[in-house]
Amino acid sequence: MVNHNECAEAPPGLALRVVVSIIVFFGLLIFAIIYVAFFASSFSLFQQIAVILIALLAATAILGVMWTTWGINLEKK
């Protein structure tokens, strides 16, 4: 028999990581909107693409490190 309390229990640190993921996503979205609205006109097309790619890579790195460490720690338990 499966204990329902065990199924409903979230692993430690999960809620924090979900909140940080949402913040990073909306932060990236807000950055992109502000960048396009106010700063993009002063850059060439290649510079605009580079800025957006760097922002995407930074967000991916933050989320990747955060979720990888959580997964590794979860696997150890």
pLDDT in tens, 23-67: 999 999 999 999 999 999 999 999 999 999 999 999 999 999 999
In a domain, 36, yes or no: yes
Q: Which two tokens stand for residue 6?
A: 């065990």
Radius of gyration of the CA atoms of the chain, in A: 18
The answer to whether 20 touches 64, Cβ cutoff 8 Å, is no
Domain that holds residue 40: 12-76
In a domain, 3, yes or no: no
In a domain, 48, yes or no: yes
In a domain, 5, yes or no: no
d(CA 44, CA 29): 21
d(CA 77, CA 66): 17
Looking at residue 75, its pLDDT comes to 81
In a domain, 68, yes or no: yes
Say how many domains are in the chain. Answer: 1
Looking at residue 6, its pLDDT comes to 56
The answer to whether 48 touches 56, Cβ cutoff 8 Å, is no
Looking at residue 3, its pLDDT comes to 59
In a domain, 34, yes or no: yes
d(CA 70, CA 2): 25
Q: Quick check: 74 pLDDT over 90?
A: no
